[in-house]
Amino acid sequence: MTTPTITLPGLHVVRSTLARVDLRAADDDAQAEREGLGLMDVRFSPFNTWYRIDSWWEGSFMERTVPGAFKRTFAAHRQAKNVDAHNIKTMFNHGQDLTIGQKLLGTIDEIAEDADGARSSVWLWDTSYNRDLLPGLREAAYGSSFMFQVIREEWNEEPEKSDDNPDGIPERTIREARVFEAGPVTWPASPTATAGMRCWSDTETYYDQLERNDPSRVQRMRSQITALRSAGPAQQGTPAGPGPATARPTDSARSHSAGLTPAQRRERLYPTLKG
């Protein structure tokens, strides 16, 4: 059973994978004449590969991206040039590194969907902080991650158990996403991840770090989500419990249903798009 296409307004989610970041030298004379440190390839979202999400902010489910999911956001980036509203950024650790901060790493020369996934090729500027990253980039020691917002998706609420989804939890297919940033990260995947593509939600880490700089914004979002989760409708004639009124992001995502099914919970949390 699938649900109507929905959106997650205002929530920027983060996915990190073991897909490594590669550094290569300039491959033509024009590139060689540019001032910089070389081209960095960030392959940040392999297609048609299921991975599990367990997130206080998002819930527990299986997820995958499919070809075409990034077509519009990449086109908007190419058309925007230096207009910030649509320009995809490249930072280290999503701009949360204590030394580098939100400094950009370079210029995106190409951003595209390859047959197997989404990729950006970034011309690294010759800066002191990029030189500090060079040894790790040359050794392919960093993984990749990207920050995005879901625009169009499909849900299977009651999938059969499978090798990819042994617990039979809901499955989300991301048909379209808006990408804000993609780049190398230090911790590319959870050490507890199972076999297959190792990917997990780094949304918790991102918002924990963001809270240091903008605590009121994060607290408003957290309060809104916990309030909506607490306001679940009665189930079988019994009023919904108080819900996670005092819940923190470290609590188990499974404990925040307030007696709702995944579809009912999303209908309360996120507006459903018609048509």
Task: Tell whether pTM > 0.85.
Answer: no
DSSP per residue, 160-180: PP-SS-TT---EEEEEEEEEE
| Residues in the chain, pLDDT under 50 | 1-8, 189-199, 232-258, 271-275
Identify the pLDDT of residue 18. Answer: 62
Identify the pLDDT of residue 179. Answer: 94
Phi-psi region of 37 (alpha: psi -120 to 50; beta: other; left: phi over 0): alpha
pLDDT tens for 164-221 read: 999 999 999 999 999 999 999 887 644 433 333 344 556 767 777 777 777 887 788 7
Identify the pLDDT of residue 210. Answer: 73
